[in-house]
Structure 1
Amino acid sequence: MTDSSNDAVHGRAAPKLPIQGKRNILITSALPYVNNVPHLGNIIGCVLSADVFARYCRLRGYNAIYICGTDEYGTATETKAMEEKCTPQQICDKYHAIHKEVYKWFNISFDEFGRTSSPQQTEVCQAIFKKLMENNWLSENVMQQLYCDKCQKFLADRLVEGVCPTQDCNYDSARGDQCEKCGKLLNPIELKDPRCKFCRSTPHIRDTNHLFLELPLLKDKLEEYINHMSVAGSWSQNAIQATHAWLKEGLKPRCITRDLKWGVPVPHEKFKDKVFYVWFDAPIGYVSITSCYTPDWEKWWKNPENVELYQFMGKDNVPFHTVMFPSTLLGTSENWTLMKTISVTEYLNYEAGKFSKSKGVGVFGNDAKDTNIPVEVWRYYLLTNRPEVSDTLFTWVDLQAKLNSELLNNLGNFINRVLSFIAKPAGQSATFGNGAFTLNLEAVQQILSLII
């Protein structure tokens, strides 16, 4: 863990801790997955939105920290490693550096940007798991899973593709965990016409033992939390709708283990060849990354009386943060800082379709940098086009129009008129542009009082 005594030596400010009597705000944005370059939809959907709120909190004088990092475990990393003929660790190292560079260019003001493949992640994740075991919130069960004879392996959710079983959807490239088109969460065996992502052959069902989080047994605790905090924290409407849709459908035991190698090992003799499901361990990354920021991380994460937790994400991540993660923490019976407010975006779509990392469709962070359009323009455009209550659309024509009409014409003209108004024959001299003219300081103060 980070030794705060060495912070000054390494040129890093000492980590902030909650201060009694002040408003202490812990901000997270959904951890971007590490298997590709982040696109504009990812950036506005979580990191940029959270960044603006973090800047606002600091300007108001609140004691706030902003935590984020790359989500590195799971099937998608293994798949990308196979595609690029390297190890999962090499993939994570490569794309973590790319993510970090993109967010640095976008001026995202993280207090800590970490990663979930750290020793701290294993430590915190396994500790939470052991508490759940002690409190009898976990069960063993046989799970039917697709097995590929040709590859000689069980296929994790994302290693299976097929036709979405939802009647009104029937998307033919749905993943085994979720349909990208309709957003429905799936189990691989629900897919119609399933196929192995590696060899394209048809897998068959086999039994395998797994561990499950007993969500039905945690239902009362969870609903009490949701009913109270969704009002107290003014949850966005799309978050409330997505959460209640899960509750209405009925909570079911949720599998938290996977037949993979790349992940946090399960500290249980019977399941030692398995790892935790990425959606069990990924939200715990907020905690482990905070523990990399300060060894006193519990002062942020086990201090609900003095800390408010604000989380930012896209709508497809909602149930994992309003149902799965709170249930996990509630099941430990420890005094965790649970999410107070959740801010959820809809989708930012690209031209005629969706941004897609897997298909390479859209504008990615490095593309934005390569346009030579200043980062402030990109930040302005994304924030004015933020998909707050409905999906919005990125088009190059719209970017050009907003740049020309809103920034150049409207704001530029406003600044020009203000400067022209305050320039007077007498007063203090100052240089603007290529020439010098004098300013009426009293007029300057009047203008500033109007616009600040």
Structure 2
Amino acid sequence: MGKFNRYLITAALPYANGPVHIGHLAGCYIPADIYVRYLRAKKADVKFVCGTDEHGVPITIKAMKEGVTPQDVVDKYHKIIGDSFAAMGISFDIFSRTSNQIHHKTSQEFFLKMYNDGLFEEKESEQYFDPEKNVFLADRYIIGTCPKCGNDKAYGDQCERCGTSLSPDELINPHSALSNAVPVKKKTKHWYMPLQNYEPWLKQWVLEEHKDWKNNVYGQCKSWLDSGLQSRAMTRDSNWGIQVPLPDAEGKVLYVWFDAPIGYISATKELTDNWADYWCKEDTKLVHFIGKDNIVFHCIIFPAMLKAHGNFVLPDNVPANEFLNLEGEKISTSRNWAVWVDEFVADFPDQQDVLRYVLCSTAPETKDNDFTWKDFQDRNNNELVAVFGNFVNRALVLMHKLCGGKVPKLHPAHIEEGDREIISEFATTKERIEKSIESYRFREALAEVIDFARKGNIYLQKNEPWKLASAIEKINKGETHEKFTAADLELLQARIDICLHICLQMSANLAIFCNPFLPFTAKKICHLLKVVDRMLEWENAGKTDLLKVGYSLRAPELLFKKIEDDQIKAQLDKLNNSRKKMEEAAKAAELAAQPAAPPKPEIQYEDFAKLDLRVGTIIKAEKVEKADKLLKLLVDIGTEQRTVVSGIAMHFAPEDIIGKQVTLVANLAPRKMRGIESQGMILMAEDKGKLVFVNPNEAVTPGSGVS
């Protein structure tokens, strides 16, 4: 790992306005945890810090919608997010929060140092203001009609229906989310960081000194730098956040993207008194794990802040991942199109490593990738169960059956070329995994782990120790015509021992190899092999003598269990039900917003008196062939039974309306519809897209007149 004596690993601070989903895990938290667990196994001096980001406009909007305080919102989601990470084995040294006082103090001191060094520009600008609430409005507090798609609930920074980036000036009929008042523009003062002053340094530092960064990271940084940087406000008008520590800054807070990355520093301060060793000594390796939407902040703005402040190390790498999609669609929290981590843990207890495995195997390391429940099932059943778990289980079962439950001897004199080949894989697999992890290619590293287990299965199958044991049994029983000497029997047993000795040592190595990726599984293997967790230290990887000859091992237990079709169907049904509910809610909201039907022209009493309205009872109903919207009804109106064709098939099932009383226009001229003569019209009321029958409150005699 080279010139570094300590490691500081950060994972993006999750925003505390909702739970975390699998896209978050795949984006940065599982990759970061893999890297940290590997470093710990190598006995590196490493700190892994994270925490919830608890300031900013979306939190105040959520609090407003739910009728609670912003503190209530962040308290709720800090716990949900923290519990989800813990359940998934994300091994932070600290999971802090930006509402802690130590963070407020650290951020304010950081700001003051830059302010006192004259590194900010003070600027006045016109910003939107709510004249009723007497507050400045962030873009998200301004709602209006999107000029692109007509959505009348678009925010001042983005339309969430069509995804268009907007400014408040572009909204049609803008109004305040706080009071519904029309916002006005008013002058306000803020402190800006002149990023353009750091552009030459950033070009050298990023584009020349970090050409080894991932293509997606390097490319996005180059695009920003080539376009030219501008001054960026580091403060906002708000009552929720970290107050700007200046006497003339009442009602102003630090920009959330100024204070959030400082959260890494404050969390380290909270974790250890030696925090400065990790942030200020040049032999520290700082690595930020993030998603691609945070690249600019971690590769340009935060490094510029650190450089401006001075005395801090800069990130050595920022291995950002792309986005994870779900069942072919973009994950959307607003549409509830997501797999929430807390729900997964409840639905699949003790199967966290399966999700870790699948999310790492399909991680969007270089491009957006897709999670599907079918792939989740297939990878579990065909790889974890059939390859990894099968190998370890077979090795233990055969050892108990053929070797008395103890680790057998290796018998060096009887080792063959195939044995030497598989033994050589111990060290080469270790080297390949190391190289891949240290290059942030975690998918590749995990593939080496599963391939090692696959090679073990092939080796076991080639040697077939169960057949050798069967041959020994037949010889001892005299069931063979061939003559065998004691030396022959000794060789057969030696071959059994060698095969299973190697397979058991492979199982021990699998525990070490998989520990960064599948920590719960690694501990299970240690339990079965009756070894302490210290065996998982990386210095033991590749060794061929981890289990001592004659050592008794526990009875085998399955490492993974098969995932059945009904479990996958339940998850797909949950997703589709979420989609259906969101679509229904959107449709209901759209209908609710529609104006009432306009009044029709005035008529005279004589016109109304011409109508013959009678109460009838539906005695038969059936669908009209090749007509999705039509039902054929037989209606009893006392003196006769009428056939009526009605366009209500999308609202009622035929069997549900038999016996219902309806109001019929009995003197309407007959009309043919789909070849059927309709002898009247049933009166219906429409309520927000839903049809209901116009009928009496209580049953009346069919044929009764309506007047």
TM-score range, shorter chain: 0.7 to 0.9
Name the SS for the 1:211 alignment partner: strand
Q: Which moved more, 1:173-182 or 1:220-229?
A: 173-182
Q: CA deviation at 1:124?
A: 1.3
Counterpart contact for 1:160–1:188, Cα < 8 Å: no
Q: CA deviation at 1:41?
A: 0.8
**Runs of 5+ in structure 1 lacking a partner?**
1-19, 431-436
Counterpart contact for 2:156–2:171, Cα < 8 Å: no
1:355-378 Cα offsets, whole Å, 9 max, x none, are: 233443211111111212511111
Q: Which amino acid aligns with 2:105?
A: E
Distance 1:423 1:345, change over 3 A: same
- Residue 188 (structure 1) aligned to one of 156, 167, 170: 167
Counterpart contact for 1:137–1:217, Cα < 8 Å: no
Name the SS for the 2:20 alignment partner: coil
1:263 and 1:228 map into 2 onto residues whose CA distance is: 37
**Larger Rg computed on CA atoms:** 2
After TM superposition, the structure 1 = structure 2 runs for residues 42-441 of structure 1, keeping only pairs within 5 Å, are 42-149=24-131, 152-160=134-142, 176-177=156-157, 188-189=167-168, 191-193=170-172, 196-198=176-178, 203-231=183-211, 234-303=212-281, 305-332=282-309, 334-373=310-349, 374-419=351-396, 425-429=402-406
Distance 1:285 1:182, change over 3 A: farther
1:327 and 1:87 map into 2 onto residues whose CA distance is: 34
1:413 and 1:393 map into 2 onto residues whose CA distance is: 27
Name the SS for the 1:345 alignment partner: coil
Distance 1:425 1:49, change over 3 A: closer
1:362 and 1:316 map into 2 onto residues whose CA distance is: 18
Q: Which residue does the alignment assign to 2:697?
A: none
Counterpart contact for 2:157–2:168, Cα < 8 Å: no
2:391 and 2:402 map into 1 onto residues whose CA distance is: 21
1:257-305 Cα offsets, whole Å, 9 max, x none, are: 11111111101122232000101110000000111001221111111x2
Distance 1:396 1:227, change over 3 A: same
2:183 and 2:71 map into 1 onto residues whose CA distance is: 28
Distance 1:226 1:416, change over 3 A: same
1:84-110 Cα offsets, whole Å, 9 max, x none, are: 222112222111111111111111111
1:101-152 Cα offsets, whole Å, 9 max, x none, are: 1111111111111001111111111111112112222011122323344654
Q: CA deviation at 1:449?
A: 5.3
- TM-score normalized by the length of structure 1: 0.83
- Residue 499 (structure 2) aligned to one of 439, 443, 448: 443
Distance 1:195 1:400, change over 3 A: farther
RMSD of equivalent CA atoms:
3.1
- Which has the larger share of strand? 1
Q: Which moved more, 1:119-128 or 1:147-156?
A: 147-156
**Runs of 5+ in structure 2 lacking a partner?**
408-465, 470-492, 510-707
Counterpart contact for 2:49–2:93, Cα < 8 Å: yes
Question: Between the two proteins, what is the percent identity of the paired residues?
Answer: 35
Q: Which amino acid aligns with 1:188?
A: S
The higher-RCO structure (CA 8 Å, 6+ apart) is 1
- TM-score normalized by the length of structure 2: 0.55
Distance 1:99 1:425, change over 3 A: closer
1:336 and 1:71 map into 2 onto residues whose CA distance is: 21
Q: CA deviation at 1:179?
A: 7.3
Distance 1:358 1:259, change over 3 A: farther
Distance 1:372 1:204, change over 3 A: same
